[in-house]
Chain A
Amino acid sequence: MQIVVCLKQVPQVAELPWDPATGRLKRDLAEGMTDPAAKRALEAGLLLKAAGGGELIALTMGPPPAEEVLRQAIALGADQGFLLCHPALAGADTLATSQALGAAIRHLAPDLGLVLLGAASSDSETGHLGAQLAEELDLAAALNVEQWQLSPRALRVQRVSDGFLETLELDLPALLTISTQAPAPRDTPLGGLEDAFASGRITRLGPEEIGLDPARSGLAASGGRMLRVYSPAAQKRAVLMRGAVKKSVQELLARHGDRLGGIIGRDLGAAE
């Protein structure tokens, strides 16, 4: 059985470099890390492999630096890493990404047992990819999974969905997206990254190698166009207080103590 974990490199910083001309993120400028939910999907893959055996494949799509998330995955115990990387894949929305990852998975995992993804990535947070990849590969799927139990042919999972605690059973092969409420990821072992780098177990793939038409990939296969990107206008103009912390706090209470006291129902007048 092959388990494929789809990983995503996300920017570490909250304020991201973006290109105002195209409205697209300059991913190559943003220092990356493995998306927190994807880390838990990897942890799920490692636990499931430990329990049921099989091969664990880490897959990501992105610019060359995204290889880093594969090195981490291999350092943690993934058997192979594949980076789907080509200019024609840039600008992909979840529709185009599901098409590309689906093609890669069909190519890489003829004995597919499970596809695992993070439930939603920290940089875009749409949560669409799992459902769309399940459609692409025609797999039974459960999203936002927190716990799981594997038996030989089926998988039993638990999730919270709109105020219901659901237990679901899926035949394999299946797809799960893993919530950030799932077991926490283990730490990367010291020295593991360099070993992973030297291991030669990371392969780069382009669209043609997995049967994708570059002219119908990435932005060209996406369902939306960005008209413009802007910073939301500030709603208020704050009164700024600077200087010593104690002075600022006293100034806050001197100016607004009556109002704040009214809200909490207590007298906030200065102590005698």
Chain B
Amino acid sequence: MDTTREIWVFGDWRNYFQNRVTLQLLAKARQLAEPSGARVCALAFGQGLDEWVMEYTAHGADRLYVCDHPRLEGYPMQAFTGLVVDLAKKRQPEVILVGATSFGKELAARVAKRLGVGLTADCVELALDDHGRLVQTAPAFGGNLLAEIVSTGSPQMATVRPGAFQEQPHDYVRTAEVVHLDPPAKLPDERLRLVESRRLPARQQELENAAVVVVGGRGLGSRKKFKNLHELARLLGGEVGATRPVVHSQWAGHEALVGQAGRQVKPKLLISFGVSGAIQHTAGINADFIVAVNKNPNAVMMQMADVGIVADANQTCLALIRELKDRLRG
């Protein structure tokens, strides 16, 4: 019997950004597999999967579990869940990693429930400890803290947000073994019917690509004061981002949310007003130069900044607008 330990990555190929996180997870799975010689396996379900089989092989999979069947057209949640669960019971992988896309989160939660195992959401780090346990580091308690979690059962399951890990360059010389699975016998759940699915126009990428991002947090105090950020962003040729409490208070739309649950930004300059610095927010920031404004010098955001201004966020925003207008005149 084949006793090689297996680390699985769910192949979430439906669109470009879903597939990116699959490749990022394959890179992490390779790192985890290296010390023990475990086998990295990718799961690919759907119809017409040759392209993904090639890509996952080139990005580090040693083995592919493939179910290529017309019944799997349309990415049916129930059928995919059944396939993962049945295969996991048979092969008993040590680890299952799933990208934290909308689809992946639901799939992983369902699989974990059916297998009766834990699932750690949105891991920012994954490592094996001396006992071979997968230590899953994830935000905890509103995001100001990180928790290290281990599973009590097997497989050990985790989801990871896009962008948390780096994908490896592809290697089209690599080869992998392809194991073809029987299609699911049961038809997809007919209690739930897909009436229509329309691809939305590619998301506006202004915030993701902006060289300057001005972010406002709850410390600004009100929706009216938050609006001043737009004036500052205009002067700097930048974009406005927001934290979760600001979006919840509807000072800004969800599309402005910076962080794990929203946009990942990588500006040259980020100016942050009244932001405490919850990990869900700061995990979305990769900035060259950060200026933070906060009354509390000990706020996490202040500590990760290059310059921290200890002051009222709104007053400082207005002063900066005035000063820039003076200097940019002419």
Contacts and interface: CB of A to CB of B under 8 A. Distances in A.
Contact of A266 (B17, B147, B268, B328): B328
B26 to A, nearest CB: 19
B48 interface: no
Contacts of A48: none
Contacts of A238: 292, 302-308
A123 interface: yes
B194 A15 contact: no
Report, as a range, how many residues of chain B touch the other chain: 35 or more
B106 to A, nearest CB: 5
Contacts of A127: 105, 109, 121
Provide the main secondary structure of the chain B interface.
Answer: mixed
- Select the residue from B17, B118, B248 with max chain A CB neighbours within 10 A: B118
B37 interface: no
Contacts of B57: none
A267 B200 CA distance: 40
B276 A252 contact: no
B319 A245 contact: yes
A95 B113 contact: yes
Interface stretch (A68-76, A107-115, A129-137): A129-137
Given A128-B105, A170-B191, A248-B316, A223 B310 contact: no
B148 A132 contact: no
B303 A143 contact: no
B17 A171 contact: no
Contacts of B116: 95, 223
A253 B306 contact: no
B320 A223 contact: no
B102 interface: yes
A215 interface: no
A180 B245 CA distance: 12
Contacts of B308: 238-241
A188 interface: no
Interface string A148-160: 0000000010001
A128 B119 contact: yes
18 contacts: A23-B147, A125-B122, A126-B121, A161-B103, A164-B197, A166-B198, A169-B195, A180-B247, A223-B118, A225-B152, A232-B146, A232-B300, A236-B304, A238-B305, A240-B302, A248-B309, A249-B319, A264-B211
Given A181-B254, A238-B308, A248-B316, 10 more contacts: A14-B245, A128-B105, A162-B18, A165-B197, A174-B191, A228-B147, A231-B300, A236-B305, A240-B308, A269-B327
